[in-house]
Structure 1
């Protein structure tokens, strides 16, 4: 059988049925990934793509920052173009460090893309992002979806059979169980993350992107577990209401305050400098606010 025939047969087998195209997607985490077909020199190679979600096994980790880690974060500000140390209160909401136990949870490997989000819009379950109002450059399928509110993000995750990750789940995915400073390790590396700078002009093209990058553009910046873009590119909505201080003592599967005005954001975006791309760094905003450097990823109970 000729190589071209083998390729055609492989593609026919792997193609989705026409009847399934309009149906809402089933929860993606437990599903086995489909194979991809590549051809080189007449040889057909089947490759398994990275899964849509990764399973974080139950366990305990330390969430938050110690005084010495906050002092280090302050000193990082002096390395930015502004060239001065940040006051302690900028990072004081990372106090106190505390032990957290989490149950098994699936978390998306990447930030939700425009392509995935548009499936929800087409199904009538999600609102169209306001790209037509001067943000058309962000309307590309491979980019993380941005200009979404907290409610938009929560609606999409619910439509896929999931939810937004809790703040504790997000931090565990970014830091691991050994408390990494950044998702990839303890040392800053501006070439493996889509970052900004602490400056009057926050945009920084030295990482190869002035604004958004396609999801997973920095494989060396992934966590050891395989999560992409946990720092930079877009800051991410999480489920919790914001509180300026964590509760004391050990906790199990924390969900944050039961009410509040603002929601938590994690990870920093393409406008943020190194102090705010640390895995313990916290941001917060009104859930109705939209930003071009703000997106999300989803989680699912195991």
Structure 2
């Protein structure tokens, strides 16, 4: 074979090598060897590892998510395609020597970074990654180098080293120790937590028959902070005489939750009055004093210190109450009796007959004469019963039901059914400020002897839904089963209604500016660099032709821009619009075109990837996007050809539609082939260049061009049937308008 014939093959070899090299910058599950024991050389060096290793636990496993808290993981590279995965406890002294890289700061997830090969230099080839890399749910660690790099989207990217986290451990021989981390996360049943950042840590400690207390300590960067639990011990156990009007007999005779609550409030008031008779000097002698701000490296006005003092005072008051109760003798017995009575009464199902304070008809979107559903609001703000029910009633026409309610006939009764009669008690500074029902099952309508049920959803107001007891109940509730109270009232099984929390409204339907998503401040990895973003609002859909006509209707006829859309439809996006005209329309509304960073931050919705589907699940692209496969390739005679109505595909996590496909979207930024620098906060694009950046791909593009990190560009005077736009607005302007 002559050299001239061999030359093309020689040139092809580097290309194939680079392709294979690029593919192998990532690890797959096949790279992890399951069940493999540590080899002798690694075991010999186990003492130098940051994780405790021995033959009993050194079994390699495939990574399982989520990574467990208070656990350190080691990814050990044995060969180019063979990796071991170990987990165990971190060894404090070795752990402190690791170089730490915070995942959140670097906008990476543990699941994502475990599959990346990590390098000390850009000069390394695909298989020349670091051999020992440690992980936990928040950090990546290197025992060797202070800088790590990885390959993503075809370019080298840097992991920024972080301040080394530390550990907090709690030592106690108490079997039933109750630990509450007051400014950090601690797994239930655990006595250690890592990784944690340096600073002041506050814990509350309690145990049966012990006086609770709060302690605080200072953790230095990368160090271990140890809390040795020592409960306060009274010097004397003398009992003081006390006169109480509430007796054990009265408590045992209680029949309802409401009666028990009323008597409990009387009892609490009498206990408070009797407290003044007890000398508190004795308590102060043995109870640990509050630590000074100086001893914690803080000042008196510091938020963390104020939190510590507040929790300290609360627990001190609780401990003092327990101490006084023992001093008062019969008080502790009454407390136990009340708790037992509440446990028995609150376990019973409940029915509450109540007239709604507000009723609303939800009309059909397609038939203005048809009622789709009904909304009932019960109770008033901060009332014992405060909820909204939205649903349908099948056994009686809903307009007839509303007429019965309006007549006010005594034979018609609205009944709230509850799984059990246990309201949540809400405290503020140790005082009860409210008791609220939340365990709703069904809404029933009694008409004489007949009982029918609606099918719908209860919504709890946020001030109730955020209580930890309520959050836990909502999480564990089984919606498919029915309560005993309902089953006994109906010949057939009645399924529970769902109960949800009132949403934090992040989507606003603005009368003039359209429907927008409120975007909080944050940061993300933009074009290989972590940048921070200020809050703003962005249209949840591309500007439709119907909305575009409304925008132009705000102007004098001489200032209006014609709609050049080739594919007509009220809910189809505007197409065939130049950059200047798109920006003009946004400015009419008081907004602007988004910068590329604003567009991408909103589109990715906190994701590290530029697509809403997984890379290996090409079949799901059509669930999220209008693109060539479900539009262009259908042919001009097919109704699906061209852009579709907006919001017909699945939105992203922030409720924003069509950020991949349908029509490509203009952004505010100039495009320039060479990027000299990217601002660290709110990037605004290149100073150079005359073309403008387009984002998102369109109905004409293949799936690979729908990635939201990909950028295209066009002359701002250009227009086409695959280009549209959406607008952004200052967040404060939207919020102020919404309050009017």
TM-score by length of 2: 0.29
Shift of 1:254: 1.1
Distance across 2 between alignment mates of 1:208 and 1:57: 39
Per the alignment, residue 54 of structure 1 pairs with: 517
Per the alignment, residue 581 of structure 2 pairs with: 152
Q: Is the 8 A contact 2:564 2:575 kept in 1?
A: no
Per the alignment, residue 227 of structure 1 pairs with: 656
Distance across 2 between alignment mates of 1:8 and 1:252: 44
- 1:20-69 deviation line (CA, Å, top 9, x unaligned): xxxxxxxxxxxxxxxxxx99953699xx99741111111110012xxxxx
Q: Is the 8 A contact 2:627 2:662 kept in 1?
A: yes
Alignment of 1:159-238 (within 5 A): 159-184=588-613, 186=615, 187-188=617-618, 189-192=620-623, 193-196=625-628, 203-205=632-634, 209-218=640-649, 220=650, 222-238=651-667
Distance across 2 between alignment mates of 1:142 and 1:191: 19
**1:42 pairs with 380, 389, 398, which one?**
398
Which range is displaced more, 252-261 or 270-279? 252-261
Per the alignment, residue 286 of structure 1 pairs with: 715
Distance across 2 between alignment mates of 1:280 and 1:126: 34
- List alignment gaps of at least 5 residues for structure 2: 1-359, 366-391, 403-455, 457-504, 510-514, 732-740
Q: Is the 8 A contact 1:126 1:155 kept in 2?
A: no
Q: 1:208 to 1:62 in 2, by over 3 A?
A: farther
- 1:97-143 deviation line (CA, Å, top 9, x unaligned): 11111100101100000011112333244410235xxx3xx222111
Per the alignment, residue 562 of structure 2 pairs with: 128
Q: Is the 8 A contact 2:575 2:723 kept in 1?
A: yes
Per the alignment, residue 19 of structure 1 pairs with: none
TM-score by length of 1: 0.67
Shift of 1:216: 0.4
Of Structure 1 and Structure 2, which has the larger fraction of its residues in strand? Answer: 2
Shift of 1:260: 2.3
Distance across 2 between alignment mates of 1:215 and 1:292: 15
Per the alignment, residue 681 of structure 2 pairs with: 252
Do structure 1's residue 103 and structure 2's residue 534 form an aligned pair? yes
Q: 1:250 to 1:50 in 2, by over 3 A?
A: closer
Q: Is the 8 A contact 2:508 2:518 kept in 1?
A: no
Distance across 2 between alignment mates of 1:161 and 1:298: 9
Higher-Rg member (1/2):
2
Q: 1:246 to 1:107 in 2, by over 3 A?
A: farther
Distance across 2 between alignment mates of 1:284 and 1:39: 54
- 1:169-193 deviation line (CA, Å, top 9, x unaligned): 1111122333223145554423211
Q: 1:260 to 1:249 in 2, by over 3 A?
A: closer
**2:544 pairs with 103, 110, 113, which one?**
113
Which range is displaced more, 145-154 or 258-267? 258-267
Shift of 1:164: 0.6
Where 1:236 maps in the other structure, the secondary structure is strand
Q: Is the 8 A contact 1:144 1:215 kept in 2?
A: yes
Distance across 2 between alignment mates of 1:250 and 1:8: 48
Q: 1:208 to 1:274 in 2, by over 3 A?
A: farther
Q: 1:268 to 1:150 in 2, by over 3 A?
A: same
- List alignment gaps of at least 5 residues for structure 1: 1-5, 12-37, 65-96
Distance across 1 between alignment mates of 2:704 and 2:674: 19
Do structure 1's residue 274 and structure 2's residue 703 form an aligned pair? yes
Distance across 1 between alignment mates of 2:714 and 2:584: 18
Where 1:61 maps in the other structure, the secondary structure is strand
Distance across 2 between alignment mates of 1:50 and 1:254: 26
Distance across 2 between alignment mates of 1:217 and 1:8: 22
Do structure 1's residue 141 and structure 2's residue 141 form an aligned pair? no
Q: Is the 8 A contact 1:98 1:250 kept in 2?
A: no
Tell me which of the two structures has the higher relative contact order, counting C-alpha pairs closer than 8 angstroms and 6 or more residues apart. 1
Shift of 1:144: 0.5
**2:672 pairs with 243, 261, 275, which one?**
243
Q: 1:8 to 1:204 in 2, by over 3 A?
A: closer
What is the alpha-carbon root mean square deviation over aligned residues? 3.6
